[in-house]
Structure 1
Amino acid sequence: MLSISKHEYLQLLKSIKSILVILFLLGVTYGGIQLTEQFQGLLTESPTDVDAMYAVGISFAVLSFGPLFVFSLSHDVFNREISGRMMRFLVTKTKRTNIVLGKFVGISMFWLSILVGAFGVIYIFTQSFDVKVFFETVSVVSVFIGMAFVLSLLVAKPMLSMFLGVIIGIVYPAISVWSIFSDSWYIKWFRFLSPYYYISEESYLFLVNFGLAALIVFVSTDLFKRRDV
């Protein structure tokens, strides 16, 4: 499992798309710091509140574009190897559960590295680190990693999963935000299926997202066991 995790982590780290994502998020982080510092004199908040704004800014960028980035990078985490017949070799070496967990750990470590880097830049400039916002962001990303797994197992062709991943990455956050702020019965139920809802409360309800991610990974494992490779 560890070798699979390492492979997934390094594959993402060397990908051109991943490098662009990293540069984008780090650029947004640095740009947000510079912009906030320019207007800091006009802000009436306390220094603590101003420092919190930096963390919220990068968190907002990740939550807005994160789903799109996650699906773009991991939409083919399974179907690429299945269609290329590489998965047959892998399943003869280890259990399918280990493959799913290994891939999840590797991809999660990649995103954790990015978030640590982004929040680390904030810390360098502000000497503050909002632990709660950090873990809220991590929890949401973990759910979308699991969703990318399910998509890759349900859709056989990588090109099609890429197309659907982009659509989901754009539409899903929009519907999630709509369901959180809407009182309409036909949409407000959707909030309970969205990781955004569990970080919108002033509590530690975001921990539910880690449970959702675990549940989705369990579903992915079951799908993978039933999948002919």
Structure 2
Amino acid sequence: MLYWWSKYVLLGPLLRMFCRPTIEGLEHIPASGAAILASNHLAVADSFLLPLQVPRRITFLAKREYFTEPGLKGFVKKQFFSGVGQVPIDRSGGNAAQAAMDTAVRLLREGKLLGIYPEGTRSPDGRLYKGKTGVARMALEAGVPVIPVAMIGTDKVNPIGSKMWRPGHVHVRVGAPLDFSRYEGMAGDRFIERSMTDEIMYALMELSGQTYVDLYAASVKEKAEQAKKEQQGRAAA
């Protein structure tokens, strides 16, 4: 009920007016049954505008901290993230990656439609970065197809670092499902999982038209942050 209220009553009309979202390839998303929607990740807006354009509920994994903050602010945040289809995972321990994997596989085995960003983080510059193999492991362990999804224009309505969204047009392009059943029983084989992930990223590159970079986005961000700190240190010296 909360998801329906957020999508169609509270957020929906505002986002449709502000971002004018459109979608093509919706027929590739099954009306029922488990599947992974693997999307590029340009902006925070992706997690709001993709679910808005898909009739089925999409479940995303989110930090547990979004759901556990005390007080009125914490209550509002918990209701909001629950309302847009987020499921909390505990990423504080050493087995954080495994916890996320277990949660994702459980949701898929329950027949859910799971939203994943293979890049692991938002693109720092609008280009498409190397995918992490977790999406392949999930697909193999749950035995589900991966549906590539390209978000186009979200970085214009929600630029990196911006505090306010800007009016614009967002387009969602859904590709044909990728069937990896030929690799059944091979979960854990890093060469197979790398090959699968590269195939997913190639499909995203074709759908989105982005330039592909064979580096992890998180590493690029870390190097940029380190360079910024070093420059600030030199300026202060």
Query: Same fold judged by TM-score > 0.5?
Result: no
More helix by share: 1
More strand by share: 2
* TM-score calculated relative to the size of structure 1: 0.27
* TM-score calculated relative to the size of structure 2: 0.27
